[in-house]
Structure 1
Amino acid sequence: MTRENNKKLRIIYAGSPEFAVPALEALIHSEHEVVAVYTQPDRPAGRGKKMTAQPVKIIAEKAGIDVVQIESFKDEGALETLESYHADLMVVAAYSLLLPQVVLDMPKYGCINIHGSLLPRWRGAAPIHRAIQAGDKETGVTIMQMALGLDTGDMLYKITCPIRDTDTGQSIHDQLSSDGADALMSTLDLLVEGKLEPEVQNDSLTCYAHKLSKKEAEIDWSASAKKIDCSIRAFDAWPVAYTLMDGERLRFFMSSAIETTTDGKIGEVVAESKKGIEIVTGEGSVLITRLQMPNKKAMDAKDFLNGRSLLGQVFPS
């Protein structure tokens, strides 16, 4: 992939959620021209199910960029519209729409994707959450040349990000969203200079980040403290880890693992303090530091314990 370095790139940007915003903003403020933004159609959201625009659409409209919202590239006129922009490159970030080969081939330099993992590890829909859930010590973003396979294209640029014991799905999401913008701009610089060196993925190192489901959110207290802690932190934004108490969901947003042996039944609250609420697991215990009662706001454990106690409560495993 080479080009002359005497003119800016004409770029189509395709993305929808907050993760895709920083990269679009970086492009808007760059020397390149964003000729169109493709984003998911407005959807009902919130308790009132009000039609809500995607975050990327809001940014694009403020910048005066053409916005295209389609359900599929099979829609009537979709390919003709795409072709009319005469794009050099299409940049994709969390667009949630499959691109057929005709679309991948249409821009002069094809389509590149901002993926939230260090490929080939964690191909698929939920790479950020699965990396935390698995207890990985690092993750990152990969800019890849898109191919028909699921995140199988050649890798063009990477930025590595550590995963700390205090990180959550949301904190890593925000970091990689920012890193993705930086990685994209570095990739475009290399493209303009003719210095990109694509790297083929090693399929033997692949693992898949399957889509999150609500069913995963209920905590199995017989699992290890480490596994439970990682799931709580991975699921802090959605689907949010929970346990049942009196038939209702008690949700957990932040925790840490205590891997020493603690007396008590599995699922039992054995200690409470300003540091948190300690619950026995199948291996060690978990210290809950942020939680939410049904129909209440989420709060830190020290505030939660003002006027209430869970000591002796045994949650189902």
Structure 2
Amino acid sequence: MRIVFAGTPDFAVPSLRAAAQYNEVVAVYTQPDRPAGRGRELTPSPVKREALLRGIPVLQPENFKAAISRKALRALQPDLMIVVAYGLILPQSVLDIPVHGCWNVHASLLPRWRGAAPIQRAIEAGDRETGVCLMQMEKGLDTGPVLLAQTTDIDANETGGQLHDRLADIGAQVLRDGLGLLRADLRPRPWVQPEDGVTYAHKLDKAEARLDWQQPATALAAKVRAFNPWPMAEAVLAGERLRLHGAIALPLDHGAAPGTVLQAGRDGIDVACGEGALRIRVLQRDGGKAITAADYLNGRRDLAVGA
């Protein structure tokens, strides 16, 4: 087979390795290098770095609107194009080029959580399970028929980053299984996504990370998990803005105003919410590193109440 791979972030790297297992990847498409870091130097994507390590040619068009971009893809004579978190919506004129069309590795159990941030939205919503779908791409946003899927439970304390890494590996395995079937001329049988249960995982916005103590503690704890490591939940506590790395919800009937520190000690800092309380366990001050609540209280003796 002649495979073309399109992907950009870390999530796509295990899938690239799976696709390249038998040296069938003839080219890799990825987003153009972007400024990153304090120096804002142009930085290649994780997928580009992996491709270069493997000696695979890399192409980085801004999009496929220009005929020359589609011509370059057609010249590769791809049997299959694999798309994993590429960052571009492919037009039908591109989807039609490979012999077997385009496959997408998507980190949710479709049709739930179509869109850009399925991993974080699943945790934020309190979902108990998620998974990965291998989908035959069509023009709509994650609307294509599903070829293969694998389900996994979401751990009660799992962060967005931890689930991201697990699903990246699961996605690579699902893709490996699909490619094995295709090589054996046993093309996976697609099933059309149902209309019921469609939800959209909208792109993360940094403004969402600001916690509102008026909300229930369970919702805030889910956000802390979902937004770790990015954009990272933020909250104002006793006049100081903090980034929250770890917190749990407590079913307390406190009667205090939201935002009130109920208890602060070795176990954490308990803050009154609209319903229940949020126990902050790991946090970060501006310009600092992540520390335990106990270490933070060493410099905030004024907060040590009920310890």
Q: TM-score, normalised by structure 2?
A: 0.95
Task: Verify: 1:124 aligned to 2:106, yes or no.
Answer: no
- Decide which of 86, 92, 99 is 2:83's aligned counterpart: 92
In structure 2, the gaps of 5 or more residues are none
What CA distance in whole angstroms lies between the structure 2 residues aligned with 1:286 and 1:147?
Answer: 43
Aligned ranges for residues 40-51 of structure 1 at < 5 Å? 40-51=31-42
Runs of 5+ in structure 1 lacking a partner? 1-8
Q: Which whole-Å CA distance do the structure 2 matches of 1:297 and 1:235 have between them?
A: 17
Paired-residue identity, %? 48
Give the Cα–Cα distance (whole angstroms) in 2 for the partners of residues 44 and 309 of structure 1. Answer: 41
In the TM superposition, what is the alpha-carbon distance from 1:270 to its structure 2 partner?
1.3
Which of 182, 196, 199 lines up with 2:191 in the alignment? 199
User: SS at 1:305's partner residue?
Assistant: helix
146-155 or 213-222, which deviates more: 213-222
What's 1:290 paired with?
282
Of 66, 75, 95 in structure 2, the residue corresponding to residue 104 of structure 1 is 95
Distance 1:309 1:228 in 2: 25
| Kept in 2: contact 1:268–1:312 (CA 8 A) | no
Is the counterpart of residue 208 in structure 1 residue 196 in structure 2?
no
Which stretch has the larger CA shift, 82-91 or 252-261? 252-261
Q: Which moved more, 1:76-85 or 1:136-145?
A: 76-85
The aligned counterpart of 1:22 is 14
| Alignment: residue pair count | 304
Alignment partner, residue 162 of structure 1: 153
Q: Aligned pair in 2 of structure 1 residues 310, 100: CA closer, same or farther (>3 Å)? A: farther
Across the aligned residues of Structure 1 and Structure 2, the Cα RMSD in angstroms comes to: 1.6
Q: Distance in 1 between matches of 2:297 and 2:240?
A: 18
Deviations 1:147-202 (A, max 9, x none): 10010000011111211121111011011011110010011112223151111000
Alpha-carbon deviation of 1:251? 0.8
Deviation at 1:245, TM superposition (A): 4.8
- 1:208 deviation in Å? 0.6
CA–CA distance in structure 2, aligned partners of residues 227 and 172 of structure 1: 18
Contact persistence 1:88–1:107 (CA under 8 A): yes
- Structure 1 residue 89, shift from structure 2 partner: 0.4
- Residues 199-243 of structure 1: CA deviation (Å, up to 9, x unaligned): 100022101111111221111111111101001111112221111
Deviation at 1:277, TM superposition (A): 1.4
- 1:219 match: 211
Q: Verify the 8 A CA contact 1:262 1:280 in the aligned structure 2.
A: yes
Paired residues of 2:297 and 2:303 also in contact (CA < 8 A): no
Runs of 4+ displaced beyond 6 Å: none
CA–CA separation in structure 2 for the residues paired with 1:248 and 1:305: 13
Per the normalisation by structure 1, the TM-score is 0.92
In 1, the alpha carbon distance for the partners of 2:302 and 2:175 equals 48
| Contact 1:11–1:32 under 8 Å retained in 2 | no
